[in-house]
């Protein structure tokens, strides 16, 4: 986010830009993004668990939108005649079915199983899950969380890749989702295992910055 080359929404948030600038200051920069927008930015680190997962298509659509209640989502999705698998942080009971929808509490293993075998996924415009969707070659619809500027920036980057982005669930959401389902567009990112390269970069930065601190003089201490 410190690079001016990374995508931003058309209307920048000056305060949030300042927060991001000073959120994690450092003299050596290594960033991760959907593309290598700058010389210090590398593509996402894909978890070993995901790299070792068998990717297939069972025809269902996975949904993980922690900002929205599962009952609210079900009222909309049940009107779209495809199989849905909704994971909700608001629901803590056993998995249940509501028409063409299966609702489950958040469970890492079950989510990976659903995600890796889905036709497409609807999720927020965070970083890890969208990155893994691009790596898997899954259809992706992203909804950035409100008042989360970094997600607005991620959403702009995803839009530039051709990914469908929706900024709120409004009256036309059902129609938008139906159009997305009918679309054949998929962006399949070739994210190689870049952990060895990142480790080398970190060690190189550490070596460049290593120095013996000289003790302060009395004048410097006084100042």
Nearest to 180 by CA among 61, 64, 74, 88: 61
Q: Does residue 1 lie within any of the structural domains?
A: no
Q: Which pTM does this prediction carry?
A: 0.89
Q: Does residue 30 lie within any of the structural domains?
A: no
Q: Does residue 174 lie within any of the structural domains?
A: yes
- Give bridge partners of residue 142 from the DSSP assignment: 123, 165
Q: Does residue 27 lie within any of the structural domains?
A: no
Q: Does residue 173 lie within any of the structural domains?
A: yes
Q: Does residue 5 lie within any of the structural domains?
A: no
Q: What are the pLDDT tens digits along the chain (223 aa)?
A: 889 999 999 988 999 999 988 887 778 889 999 999 999 999 999 999 999 999 999 999 999 999 999 999 999 999 999 999 999 999 999 999 999 999 999 999 999 999 999 999 999 999 999 999 999 999 999 999 998 999 999 999 999 999 999 999 999 999 999 999 999 999 999 999 999 999 999 898 887 766 545 555 545 544 4
Number of compact structural domains in the chain? 1
Q: Does residue 122 lie within any of the structural domains?
A: yes
User: Which CATH number belongs to the domain containing residue 115 in this structure?
Assistant: 3.40.50.2000
Whole domain around residue 129: which residue ranges?
46-196
Query: Does the CA dihedral 80-81-87-92 come out positive or negative?
Result: positive
Q: Does residue 155 lie within any of the structural domains?
A: yes
- Give bridge partners of residue 98 from the DSSP assignment: 101
């Amino acid at each position: 986010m410190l690079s001016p080359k990374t995508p931003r929404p058309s209307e920048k948030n000056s305060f949030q830009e300042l927060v991001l600038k000073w959120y994690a200051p450092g003299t050596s920069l290594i960033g991760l993004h959907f593309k290598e927008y700058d010389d210090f930015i590398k593509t996402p680190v894909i978890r070993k668990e995901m790299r070792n997962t068998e990717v297939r298509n069972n025809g269902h659509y996975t949904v993980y939108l922690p900002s929205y209640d599962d009952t609210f989502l079900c009222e909309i999705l049940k009107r779209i005649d495809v199989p849905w698998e909704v994971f909700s942080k608001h629901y803590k009971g056993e998995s249940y079915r509501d028409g063409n929808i299966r609702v489950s509490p958040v469970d890492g293993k079950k989510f990976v199983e659903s995600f890796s075998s889905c036709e497409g996924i609807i999720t927020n415009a965070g970083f890890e899950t969208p990155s893994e969707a691009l790596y898997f070659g899954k259809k992706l619809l992203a909804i950035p969380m409100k008042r989360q500027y970094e997600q607005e920036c991620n959403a702009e980057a995803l839009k530039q890749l051709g990914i469908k982005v929706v900024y709120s669930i409004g009256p036309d959401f059902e129609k938008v989702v139906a159009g997305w389902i009918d679309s054949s567009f998929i962006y399949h990112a070739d994210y190689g295992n870049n952990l060895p390269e990142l480790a080398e970069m970190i060690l190189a930065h550490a070596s460049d910055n290593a120095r013996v601190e000289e003790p302060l003089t009395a004048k410097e201490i006084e100042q």
